[in-house]
Structure 1
């Protein structure tokens, strides 16, 4: 009988919710936990609107006694405005509603103070998994309530290493930047030569939170303090695997001995029952519009997949140059063109472009990325280098063209191109002819063929890490569950 009840708290952004939901499903189906998954109201409603649009079943809802979804206020007027949402986190506005919800859910320490009529129909909270990005306050709440807590790092180990360098960059006087000219005069090309596991990395490849002229910059200091606060949790779980970032993980152990790779999470959840409603929850309400059937009709490794996640935005000029780079390459492709992909509002792509790509290009507003990347016809991926996209592409054996935008995406892209041998750097390619050459090189050139061979090797290693109890990532997760989350001192009697 279940006794253990974990609360899972992602940052309010799709790129953070997705890996946390995968981990929550693993804890539920593999380790028999009750789960309460806590989103802000907007993302909670998005999740269930999507589920109702995609499934006739309504059994998986916020009243489920074993996998419960709860929400706390967004604390902003417009929860679709990512800047406002981030400011709410920076200003610590989510701590009070989170604590109030946890009190209602009940914990071992709190039950004594609550009337029995207010207790929920599930055991008290026994442990917490929190996003590293929320750890600045969630771990304080957990500590106050006596709840053992671990942190989930949704970037890779290289990204985490980049974030942890902020303090040293400040101490060395490299940041804050003296003025805005540092962004254009080559200053960012400075070599960062004190990180052995990221030898050759430059300042421009480090997370963009450091690009400030203010030593008191709220974002920079919040990110730095969150990463260091997470190191004090009982474990930091990273959605990566040991051989992928071996040297970085070894160096991270000098910051904390309690850092564990448990990925790729998308592979670990593969053995979860396919007919469970929780497994079908998604963050989009789009239906399958036939793109999989189109992929089925294509030759192996012949289609390029293009997607920039949920937040990255292009200028209209970048959008048009990319479009013509794709068209002029004469490669077949699927391109996810979100309604908000272009800065300043979406404008239709030229009619001549759509005429040019007929029968060899498909434009979508959304697709099931994991399903697409796993399709045999996909031969390459143009990506913004968000870690979810990177690890999913690696786990499916797909080489990449890397076009990073913000956060640790530059670090991810640099690592992919320079250490893994799986990427072509597109960060400074702005013209259609440059883009065209890179696409052709990836899909047809010798470099692309070599990258594909390496991608297949990395796919094999990813599967070995995640496939069963003998894999390193599965063993790490099993160890954390049994030694931290199932600690006898915290199990409800």
Structure 2
């Protein structure tokens, strides 16, 4: 009699509860399931419900292709402000550590892959007997900057509350992005001094446990961040990660609007401006108006993803009127299937907040960037794009803090008229594609990860 098949090794995956963190860890989970592992994917109750509704709206089902979707409380009440990242993050350990320990024991889990923004989960190695791998949802360069923050404090560039004492340009190695101290992710994450202090204190408390992780998985690749990766402990780059083409990633917290895909099919090759600002950017009425007018002023077809809470200053009526006004020239959707959009041949450029997921996706598809960062690591990513890789240009705000319609029009023309930018974007596309192809550096690193997780 043949021996029964051995059970699939179980792995718990624990993202920080925000769209830009859930998505890449779900993409990694699909890869692990494809290599024979079993994944328990832990969302908060709030995001679990959103993810299931988004999947049901898109596919009529809530089965994320064999990944077990589970959820735990986040410590906030039903009306808690989950866009307050510092407040949300500070309450997660108390809310989640106990239930996580029970889940690990009951399911006999041996490995936890935790978002580095949840690196308090390293405590589970001692209390629940698991091995913990960390996953970086931001660039290796930003990760290296995180580890460098104590030195910046010692050198008097920052204080322990995240205030800038000496605004100087920081560049750890020649091929890493130069960034002003005032644009460090933990400094520009919030305009509230108490929130900055809270984030810096969490960082200083958790930094020492990072080298204790079994491995640090990075959504990047060796060809583009080799110097930054050399500064990290035990780094394993497996990116750029992408959702499987044949299935929903189950990592979306808003339902995707597929109407834009046939619309893109009807546009000329290399003609469309794609505009999307991620899950946290908030614009006031003046900024939205200037952007809308700027897109019209370009005279080019555009696809603009406007999530429901992108502005509190303009109502649905204004957007409805704008949609009618630009009908036939532009399309406004709620939440676009971004990877499919960026891979579409009609897309010419990407007006982006420069979140790391968007940066990697744009690079993988060879799309030039018009950079419009909002907060956190997005300024460092803009510096990579504009100052190191040479694949984009950035907008400039006026004295009101708004980007004018004229600047939008002029920067789009500058971007699309620069053959050097297009050539460099194509070169990096080839490098990114090679890294994840069979035998590429990221593909080989993924196999190393699977081996590590399988041999328990």
Which residue among 215, 219, 226 is the counterpart of 1:246?
Answer: 226
**Contact 2:220–2:237 (CA<8 Å) still a contact in 1?**
yes
Q: How does 1:365-404 map to 2 (within 5 A)?
A: 365-404=334-373
2:453 corresponds in structure 1 to 485
Aligned position for 2:110: 126
| 1:85 Cα offset (Å) | 6.0
Give 2:87's aligned residue.
87
Q: Aligned partners of 1:70 and 1:215: how far apart in 2?
A: 29
Q: 1:174 to 1:56 in 2, by over 3 A?
A: closer
Report the 3-state secondary structure (helix = DSSP H, G, I; strand = E; otherwise coil) of the residue aligned with 2:412.
helix
Shift of 1:212: 7.6
Range with bigger deviation, 359-368 or 227-236: 227-236
Q: What's the CA shift for 1:225? A: 3.8
Whether the 8 Å CA contact 1:198–1:248 is kept in 2: the answer is yes
Q: Which residue of 2 aligns with 1:424?
A: 393
Q: Is the 8 A contact 2:370 2:393 kept in 1?
A: yes
TM-score, normalised by the number of residues in structure 2:
0.89
Distance 1:103 1:322, change over 3 A: same
Counterpart CA distance in 1 for 2:195 and 2:159 is 6
Please say if 1:263 is aligned against 2:239.
yes
Counterpart contact for 2:221–2:442, Cα < 8 Å: yes
Could you tell me which residue of structure 1 aligns to residue 3 of structure 2? none
Distance 1:56 1:199 in 2: 43
CA displacement at 1:323 relative to structure 2: 1.3
Give 1:38 shift. 0.5
Superposed, 1:79-478 pairs within 5 Å as: 81-83=81-83, 86-91=86-91, 93-106=92-105, 124-135=108-119, 137-176=120-159, 188=167, 190-192=168-170, 195-198=173-176, 200-209=178-187, 217-250=197-230, 252-253=231-232, 256=233, 258-266=234-242, 269=244, 274=246, 279=249, 282-288=252-258, 290-344=259-313, 346=315, 348-349=317-318, 354=323, 357-428=326-397, 430-443=403-416, 445=417, 447=418, 449-468=419-438, 470-478=439-447
Q: Relative to 1, partners in 2 of residues 1:475 and 1:171: Cα closer, same or farther, differing over 3 Å?
A: same
What is the CA distance between 1:318 and its match in structure 2? 1.3
Change (3 A) 1:228 1:301: farther
1:344-375: per-residue Cα shift (whole Å, max 9, x none)?
56465488855653311111111101111110
Q: Quick one: distance in 1 between partners of 2:135 and 2:162?
A: 35
Of the three residues 45, 54, 69, the one matched with 1:41 is 45
Q: CA deviation at 1:310?
A: 0.9
What 5-or-longer segments of structure 2 have no aligned partner? 1-5
Give the conservation status (yes or no) of the 8 Å contact 2:178–2:383.
no
Q: Give the Å deviation of 1:286.
A: 4.1
Q: Secondary structure at the match of 1:8?
A: strand
Q: Deviations over 1:403-461 (max 9, x none)?
A: 11111110011111100111101253622211110012223x1x2x3212211111111
Distance 1:216 1:408 in 2: 14
**Pairwise CA RMSD:** 2.8
User: Is the CA contact 2:86–2:198 (under 8 Å) kept in the aligned structure 1?
Assistant: no
Q: Distance in 2 between matches of 1:214 and 1:51?
A: 37
TM-score (norm 1): 0.83
Mapped to 2, the partners of 1:431 and 1:248 lie a distance apart of 35
8 Å contact kept, 2:256–2:337: no
**Paired position in structure 1 for 2:31:** 26
Q: Quick one: distance in 2 between partners of 1:15 and 1:285?
A: 15
The aligned runs of 1:71-86 (5 Å cut-off) are 71-78=71-78, 81-83=81-83, 86=86
Q: Which runs of 5+ in 1 are unaligned?
A: 107-118
Find the residue that maps to 1:70 and give its secondary structure: strand
8 A contact 1:327–1:353 mirrored in 2: no
Q: 1:390 offset after TM fit, Å?
A: 0.5
CA shift for structure 1 position 233: 0.5
Shift of 1:179: 11
Secondary structure of the corresponding residue to residue 409 of structure 2? helix
After the TM superposition, which of the residue ranges 418-427 and 66-75 deviates more from structure 2? 66-75
1:281 to 1:433, Cα distance in 2 relative to 1, 3 A: closer
